[in-house]
Amino acid sequence: MAKTKKVILFIVEGITDQTALGNVLTNLLNSETVRFAMTDGDITTNNSVTPSNVVNRVNAIVKVALQKNAFKSSDLYSVVHLIDTDGAFVPNTAVVEKSEAAHVEYTENSIQTANVESILKRNAQKKSFVSILRGKSEISKKPYKMFYFSRNMEHSLHNESRELSSAEKMTLAEQFDDFYADRPKDFVEHLRSGGFAAPGNYEDSWKFINEGTHSLERWSNFHVFFDK
C-alpha cells in the first residue's frame, strides 16, 4: 500500500504567487503534497488584524485550507509563509514626503509618499506582526517558517522594480512558471546565485533584511528553505 504523502502548505498573498511557484514547488517537493493558501492581500498590514489575534488569523487560514482540500490536521507536515517586505523595515528617515505623489513610490533607498504618517504606521504594524509570526516555530501545532521577497516577489524573482498592474504581475508569473516549472533545480539555483540571496542562515537573513534600507532592495531568503 502506497504511503500517503504529507502536506506542505504555502501561505501566499495572492494568485500570482501561486501561479509563479505552484508547479515548480510541486516538482521540487514531490515526496510531499504541495498546497497553497491565499491571504487575499497582506495579512501583516490588514487593519482588522492586531498583535493579539495575528497568530489566530494564520491558524484560521491553515484550518480553512485543510478543509478546502479535504485534509486532516494529521496530514499536514509543515506551514511555509511567504511575504513581501514592502520596504517596511527601513528607518523612519527613509520615508520621505512627496506631496505630488499620487501613490506610494519606492526606490532602493526611500519610500516616497504624500502621507508619511500613514506609511510610518503601516511599517510599524508590519514590522511588529512579522516579528510575532517569525518568532513562532509552530502554527496549528505544525512546524512553521516565514520567508520574504524584497521588496516584493516581482522585484526578487523578475528584477522588476516598477509599479505593476495586476495583469502585468500575472504575465510575469506565467512566464516564470513556463520557464521553471519543469526545471526545478534551475529554480533553486536562481534563488541561490541570482544576485539576490540574502546572506547567512535563516536567522542571519532576517537580521540582514531589518538593517538599513535592505527591505527596499532586491533580496530574498527563500533559498534557505532548500538548504535542509
Mean pLDDT confidence for 97-103: 88
Whole-number average pLDDT of the chain? 95
CA distance 118 to 21: 32
Mean pLDDT confidence for 169-193: 97
CB 47 within 8 A of CB 125: no
pLDDT greater at residue 194 or residue 119: 119
CB 86 within 8 A of CB 42: yes
Q: What is the pLDDT of residue 101?
A: 81
CA distance 104 to 135: 29
CB 13 within 8 A of CB 42: yes
Q: Residues of 112-129 as b/e, b for ≥16 C-beta within 10 angstroms?
A: bbeeeeebeebbebbbeb
Q: Which three cell numbers stand for residue 10?
A: 504555502
Q: Which three cell numbers stand for residue 211?
A: 538593517
Q: What is the pLDDT of residue 1?
A: 40
Confidence band of 4 (pLDDT split at 50, 70, 90): confident
Q: What is the pLDDT of residue 5?
A: 87
CA neighbor of 134 nearest in space, from 187, 47, 195, 209: 209
Sole residue written with cell 517569525: 134
Sole residue written with cell 504575465: 171
Mean pLDDT confidence for 205-220: 98
Q: What is the pLDDT of residue 136?
A: 96
pLDDT at 3 over 70: no
Read off the pTM.
0.95
- List, for residues 129-158, the tens digit of each pLDDT value: 999 999 999 999 999 999 999 999 999 999
Sole residue written with cell 519610500: 111
